[in-house]
């Protein structure tokens, strides 16, 4: 069975962009069939235990007050998210995450923060951002999920809702598999390995560009899927 016939999908909405300090606010782990229809889904709202900055609320819509009133204990929530993902990986189901190093690294840090056994070498993971940059390297414009979904004809009506983003990312992955079958018709494990190399190459190119035009000391990590 091709890797895109059955896909897990994963997304987090959080308190910030720094994976070392940000906390999970909402999360989605779901399962899509070959047509991109949702077969199963789990959604969580956590009380992150810290104030949710106004800038983060402006993105995902969850306030500190809402999270405190309705959110679950963060340790229980993180454990449930990890367990759901581990179940998919144990069944050999690839999991899609757009810009995977953000979500999987942040989840790793949250697991360690709350005494939850983290995912170890999770995979196979499918990252449409890394794949799109590899198969359509010279396309102009931004590569946000919203822009990339539009490019591949995938509807995303509620951007920055964890469920909507995760499902759209899964459908983008399936569109990539159809359009670029010449490159992507490989086993999920092999595609995972290729993304490790592609992400390293992309980071090196970006670092070279930034050093040349902005900051001679600029550095970035090409580690994937966890940094």
Q: What is the domain count for the chain?
A: 1
Residue 17 domain-assigned? yes
Residue 207 domain-assigned? no
7-33 tens-digit pLDDT: 999 999 999 999 999 999 999 999 999
- Domain of 71: which CATH number? 3.30.420.10
Q: What are phi and psi of 61, to 5 degrees?
A: 85, 0
Which residues are registered as beta bridge partners of 31? 8, 40
Residue 197 domain-assigned? no
**Pairing assessment for the beta strands 125-126 and 95-96 based on DSSP bridges:** parallel
27-80 tens-digit pLDDT: 999 999 999 999 999 999 999 999 999 999 999 999 999 999 999 999 999 999
Residue 127 domain-assigned? yes
Provide the residue range defining the domain that includes 64. 3-186
Q: Could you tell me the two tokens for 101?
A: 């190093």
Residue 121 domain-assigned? yes
Residue 169 domain-assigned? yes
Global pTM reads 0.96
Residue 217 domain-assigned? no
Sheet holding 24-32, edge to edge: 38-45, 24-32, 7-14, 95-96, 125-126
pLDDT at 139: 96
Residue 215 domain-assigned? no
124: cis peptide before it, omega within 30°? yes
């Amino acid at each position: 069975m091709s890797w895109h016939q059955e896909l897990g999908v994963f997304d987090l909405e959080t308190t910030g962009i720094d994976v070392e300090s940000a906390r999970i606010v909402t999360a989605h782990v779901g399962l899509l069939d070959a047509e991109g229809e949702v077969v199963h889904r789990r959604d969580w709202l956590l009380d992150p235990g810290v104030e949710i900055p106004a800038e983060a609320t402006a993105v995902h819509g969850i306030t500190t007050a809402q999270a405190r009133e309705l959110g679950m204990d963060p340790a229980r929530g993180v454990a449930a998210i990890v367990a759901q993902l581990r179940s998919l990986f144990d069944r050999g189901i690839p999991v899609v995450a757009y810009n995977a190093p953000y979500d999987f690294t942040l989840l790793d840090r949250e697991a360690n923060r709350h005494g939850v056994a983290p995912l170890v070498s999770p995979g196979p993971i499918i990252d449409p951002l890394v794949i799109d940059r590899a198969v359509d390297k010279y396309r102009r414009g931004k590569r946000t999920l919203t822009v990339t979904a539009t490019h591949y004809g995938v509807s995303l009506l509620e951007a920055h809702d964890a469920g909507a983003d995760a499902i759209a990312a899964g459908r983008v992955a399936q569109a990539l598999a159809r359009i670029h079958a010449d490159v992507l018709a490989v086993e999920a494990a092999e595609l995972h390995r290729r993304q490790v190399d592609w992400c390293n190459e992309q980071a090196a190119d970006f670092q070279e560009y930034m050093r040349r035009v902005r900051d001679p000391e600029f550095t970035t990590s090409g580690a994937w899927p966890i940094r």
